[in-house]
């Protein structure tokens, strides 16, 4: 369901499939622990599949957390509808969420932004 790695000083969180309603809280807890542990490293959330509304809501919650911590967060998704949904609902009061179509571009951009 979820894995993480550190690439070029960027915390990469990959969501494999759907988290569903029952999986949201554990997912958010694990991601929160990793974000705090690697802070101030930028975060890239990679959505491997077209995400459901539940997964999108989870990503938006992670963005709010990262924004409160002052951590740059990006999302990579191949799905244009998911990217539009994220963009339309992203919190704009803190650190802006950057949305990409490709994970490699998201990681390179995050690395460059903090270098």
What mean pLDDT do residues 76-95 have? 91
CA–CA distance, 76 with 94 (Å, rounded to integer) = 19
Average pLDDT over residues 98-115: 94
Whole-number pLDDT of residue 20: 66
* pLDDT tens, position by position, 27-64: 888 999 999 999 999 999 999 877 788 888 889 999 99
DSSP string, 12-72: EEEE-S--HHHHHHHHHHHHHHHHHHHTTS-EEEEE-SPPPHHHHHHHHHHHHHHHHHT--
DSSP state at residue 91: -
Residue 18 reports pLDDT greater than 80: no
Percent of the chain at pLDDT > 70 equals 97
| Predicted TM-score (pTM) of this structure | 0.92
């Amino acid at each position: 369901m979820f894995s993480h790695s550190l690439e070029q000083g960027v915390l990469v969180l990959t969501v494999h499939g759907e988290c569903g309603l029952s999986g949201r809280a554990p997912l958010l807890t694990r991601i929160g622990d990793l974000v705090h542990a690697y802070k101030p490293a930028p975060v890239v959330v990679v959505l491997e599949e077209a995400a459901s509304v539940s997964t999108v809501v989870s990503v938006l919650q992670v963005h709010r957390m990262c924004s409160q911590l002052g951590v740059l967060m990006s999302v990579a998704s191949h799905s244009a509808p998911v990217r539009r949904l994220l963009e339309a609902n992203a919190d704009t009061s803190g650190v802006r969420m950057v949305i990409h179509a490709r994970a490699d571009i998201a990681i390179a951009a995050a690395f460059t932004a903090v270098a």
